[in-house]
């Protein structure tokens, strides 16, 4: 985002230049200390805007022994929030070796994607950020599906249940959570890490792809005339429309009608129907070790052993019998999966 665009969206005076100079001053102060690997500016200031509510967020990466010494009270400045020359400072001291070895969350990836390295004499911080910034495609897809499944469960099961029980306030609360999942999904659909909650909605405005009439529908989802059932139902319809549009962007070919919660199970069963049988180890590698005990795969797959090897076997005769007797013993979601599987044969 260019500074002029940011300025138009923040009517408050922009103090970014002053805050950045103080951040560089602090980085120089840390640079002369033994055991400092690097210093990075993170947080909202990296987006080019600061005001009276902004912090200077600095992450200071240290050698393990140095961090242990600082934890005993030898740090030059307190960790966490404090005042520095009248400005709000938020310092984090991090063990470089630990950061290198541990997995990072999506929010942490978003943070370093926008971070500005202020001190990095050996290039170690740049290497760390490059290694941790991107998520593998399979992981990104799993994250998108997880957010969409969570929103779907809220919108299709939890909110209707609260409305039926007569607790509209609980329904509105869950609708707010559904919106959070959808906002995270919109970022992920654009191949961007989902930011922290405080930036989640604001930065969605600048994403390359957004659902149609985004601002209008977002306002409709957020605006509540009263806390009753009618408004909860209206908000649910708005959010459901956004969910379907997001799902349409990432749904597997021919599976858009299944919705997120059913799509992965349908893919598993289609692939197993095509191959007939698969070694158990390979099945678990592809689909996870719990896939066998989840419905409706539970009714169609078995494990057969031949000597020392075990295979997962798909039974088309069981599918025929289930279809013949009707689908009344299955949840609506599982009924959609079974009909989809029958149509794909």
Q: Note whether 274 and 235 are same-domain residues.
A: no
Quick one: 73 and 150 in the same domain?
Answer: no
142 lies in the same domain as 240: yes
Indicate the residue among 219, 250, 281 that finishes a domain: 250
pLDDT category at 7 given cuts 50, 70, 90 is very low
Query: In this prediction, what percent of the chain has a pLDDT beyond 90?
Result: 63
Q: Considering 133, 159, 174, which residue would you say is the last residue of a domain? A: 133
Q: Which domain holds residue 114?
A: 3-133
Q: What is the pLDDT of residues 46-78, one digit of tens each?
A: 877 778 888 899 999 999 999 999 999 999 999
Out of 74, 101, 133, pick the residue that ends a domain: 133
CATH classification at residue 107:
3.30.460.10
Are 70 and 28 found together in one domain?
yes
Looking at the structure, tell me whether residues 214 and 299 fall in a common domain: no
Q: Is residue 134 scored above 70 in pLDDT?
A: no
75-132 tens-digit pLDDT: 999 999 999 888 889 999 999 999 999 988 777 887 887 889 999 999 999 999 988 8
Domain co-membership, 268 together with 167: no
Average pLDDT over residues 13-35: 91
Check pLDDT > 60 for residue 1: no
Is residue 137 scored above 70 in pLDDT? Answer: no
CATH of the domain at 233: 1.20.120
Residue 269 and residue 298 share a domain: yes
CATH number at residue 308: 1.10.10
pLDDT at 54: 83
Asked if residue 237 and residue 146 are part of one domain, the reply reads yes
Map the chain to HEC letters: CCHHHHHHHCCCCCCHHHHHHHHHHHHHHHHCCCCEEEEEEECHHHHCCCCCCCCEEEEEEECHHHHHHHHHHHCCCCCEEEEECCEEEEEEEEEHHHHHHCCCCHHHHHHHHCCEEEECCCCHHHHHHHHHHCCCHHHHHHHHHHHHHHHHHHHHHHHHHHHHHCCHHHHHHHHHHHHHHHHHHHHHHCCCCCCCHHHHHHHHCCCCCCCCCHHHHHHHHHCCCCCCHHHHHHHHHHHHHHHHHHHHHHCCCCCHHHCHHHHHHHHHHHHHHHHCEEEHHHHHHHHCCCHHHCCCHHHHEEEEEECCEEEEEECHHHHHHHHHHCCCCCCHHHHHHHHHHHHHC
Quote the number of domains for the chain: 3
Question: For the whole model, what pTM was predicted?
Answer: 0.71
Same domain, yes or no, for 197 and 85?
no
Residues 316-343: tens digit of each pLDDT: 999 999 999 999 999 888 998 999 899 8
């Amino acid at each position: 985002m260019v500074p002029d665009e940011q300025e138009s969206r923040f009517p408050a005076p922009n103090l970014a230049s002053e805050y950045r100079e103080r951040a560089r001053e602090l980085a120089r102060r840390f640079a002369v200390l033994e055991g400092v690997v690097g210093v990075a500016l993170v947080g909202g200031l990296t987006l080019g805007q600061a005001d009276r509510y902004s912090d200077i967020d600095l992450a200071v990466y240290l050698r393990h022994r140095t961090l242990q010494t600082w934890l005993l009270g030898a740090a030059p400045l307190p960790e966490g929030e404090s005042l520095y020359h009248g400005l709000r400072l938020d310092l984090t001291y991090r063990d470089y070796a630990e950061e290198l070895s541990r997995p990072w969350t999506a929010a942490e990836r978003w943070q370093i994607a926008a971070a500005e390295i202020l001190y990095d004499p050996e290039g170690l911080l740049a290497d760390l950020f490059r290694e941790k910034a991107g998520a593998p495609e399979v992981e990104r897809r799993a994250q998108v599906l997880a957010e969409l499944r969570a929103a779907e469960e809220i919108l299709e099961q939890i909110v209707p249940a609260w409305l039926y029980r007569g607790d509209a306030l609980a329904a509105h609360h869950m609708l707010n959570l559904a919106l959070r999942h959808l906002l995270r999904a919109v970022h992920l659909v654009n191949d961007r890490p989902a930011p922290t909650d405080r930036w989640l909605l604001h930065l969605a405005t600048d994403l390359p792809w957004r659902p149609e009439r985004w601002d209008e529908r977002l306002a409709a989802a957020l605006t509540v005339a009263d806390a009753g059932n009618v408004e909860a139902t209206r908000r649910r319809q708005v959010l459901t429309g956004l969910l379907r549009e997001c799902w349409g962007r990432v749904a597997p070919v021919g599976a858009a009608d299944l919705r997120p919660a059913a799509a992965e199970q349908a893919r598993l069963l289609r692939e197993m129907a095509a191959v007939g049988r698969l070694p158990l180890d390979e099945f678990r590698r592809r689909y996870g070790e719990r896939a066998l005990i989840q419905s409706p795969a539970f009714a169609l797959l078995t494990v057969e052993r031949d000597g020392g090897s075990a295979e997962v076997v798909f039974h088309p005769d069981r599918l025929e019998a289930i279809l013949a007797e009707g689908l009344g013993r299955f949840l609506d979601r599982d009924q959609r999966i079974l009909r989809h599987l029958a149509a794909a044969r």
